[in-house]
């Protein structure tokens, strides 16, 4: 039973990481690629960590070996660090790209460009 | 004040990272090393962590963060991920950068809201401007070129950010 739960989590993780990689290939510019590459993979990684935690807690209950407790806690700390740094990094890359003049491809509106132009005048 | 708070949190993180290395609980040597390292960290950051650090001691806020991240934030990520998955497969995108007016007071609230927006796929905060009370958001499927509130992009996130960042 527990095995199937772990397999489900790993399958979800794999699907979203795969979609993130495909989006790098399909999307036209740096901003849309950031969406796929950073967000889909974060969501997938949440499920990878969930799978590790479930497995570790299950093993902890069977074997009573403290190394599984360590495994679960360390994965959770890694997940929290990822959830805090990932959006910050994506924001920094997007802002740097915009400030160095990369225009969003096929954009219907670019309000930030307008603001920068108004600021320059 | 900020020394005590940073010390406490570093020590909690140390306890989490060292749990289970020798038996289930911590050995006295580990605890002693934790006290030393936490003191070093807390002393070296005491001028960086601001005066408002006492809000990190408020248990109702901890609970709020936990409820927020497993409730609205996770549900928002699920919905938005399925939407982006659909867009990756079909290739139907309509990107653009929109200006979203928000009604927030301090920088913590801006950080929470823009990180939440960036964490949900389909929207990516490019710039936060507290002086004009607006966020500039790259949106993968623009349905409203000039939104009047953050409702269309972030749903209930703004309300949560206002409450948690006080």
ipTM confidence: 0.79
How far is A49 from A37, CA to CA, in rounded Å? 18
Q: Averaged over B97-120, what is the pLDDT?
A: 80
How far is A40 from A121, CA to CA, in rounded Å? 39
| Cβ separation A111–B114 shorter than 8 A | no
Tell me which residue in B69, B121, B126 faces A39 most closely, judged by beta carbons: B121
| Cβ separation B126–A105 shorter than 8 A | no
Pairing mode of beta strands B123-129, B96-101:
unpaired
| Alpha-carbon A59 to chain mean position | 27
Residues of B with Cβ-Cβ distance to A21 under 8 angstroms: none
In this prediction the pTM is: 0.81
A3: its two tokens: 């095995």
Residue in A closest to B24 by C-alpha: A66
Residue in B closest to A97 by C-alpha: B126
**End-to-end Cα spacing for chain A:** 65
Residues of A with Cβ-Cβ distance to B20 under 8 angstroms: 66-70, 73
pLDDT in tens, A52-66: 999 988 888 888 777
Q: What is the gyration radius of the CA atoms in chain B, in angstroms?
A: 20
Tell me which residue in A35, A36, A95 faces B126 most closely, judged by beta carbons: A95
pLDDT in tens, B124-135: 888 877 777 778
Report the range of poorest mean pLDDT among A8-17, B114-123, B144-153: B144-153
A71: its two tokens: 């495994």
Residue in A closest to B100 by C-alpha: A111
Count of domains observed in chain A? 1
Report the range of poorest mean pLDDT among A19-28, B29-38, B42-51: B42-51
Residues of B with Cβ-Cβ distance to A91 under 8 angstroms: 114, 118, 124-126
Domain span at residue A31? 2-120
Tell me which residue in A87, A106, A107 faces B118 most closely, judged by beta carbons: A87
Residue B35 has phi, psi (to 5 degrees) of -60, -45
């Amino acid at each position: 039973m527990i095995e199937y739960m772990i397999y489900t989590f790993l399958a979800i993780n794999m699907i979203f990481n795969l979609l993130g990689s495909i989006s790098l290939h399909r999307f036209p510019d740096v901003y849309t690629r950031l969406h796929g590459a950073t967000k889909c993979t974060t969501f997938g990684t949440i499920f990878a960590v969930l799978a590790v935690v479930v497995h570790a807690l299950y093993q902890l209950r069977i074997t009573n070996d403290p190394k599984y407790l360590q495994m679960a806690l360390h994965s959770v700390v890694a997940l929290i660090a990822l959830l805090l740094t990932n959006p910050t990094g994506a924001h920094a890359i997007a802002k740097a790209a915009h400030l160095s003049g990369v225009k969003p491809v096929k954009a219907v509106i670019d309000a930030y460009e307008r603001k920068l132009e108004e600021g320059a005048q | 004040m900020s020394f005590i708070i940073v010390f406490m949190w570093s020590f909690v993180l140390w306890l989490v990272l060292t749990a289970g290395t020798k038996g289930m609980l911590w050995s006295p040597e580990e605890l002693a090393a934790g006290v030393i390292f936490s003191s070093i960290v807390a002393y070296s950051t005491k001028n960086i962590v601001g005066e408002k650090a006492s809000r990190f001691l408020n248990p109702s806020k901890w609970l709020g963060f936990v409820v927020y991240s497993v409730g609205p934030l996770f549900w928002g990520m699920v919905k938005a991920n399925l939407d982006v998955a659909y867009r990756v497969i079909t290739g139907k995108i309509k990107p653009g950068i929109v200006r979203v007016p928000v009604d927030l007071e301090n920088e913590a609230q801006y950080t929470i809201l823009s990180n939440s927006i960036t964490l949900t796929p389909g929207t990516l905060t490019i710039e936060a401007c507290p002086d004009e009370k607006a966020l500039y958001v790259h949106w993968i499927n623009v349905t409203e070129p000039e939104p009047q509130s953050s409702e269309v992009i972030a749903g209930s996130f703004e309300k949560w950010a206002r409450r948690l960042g006080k």
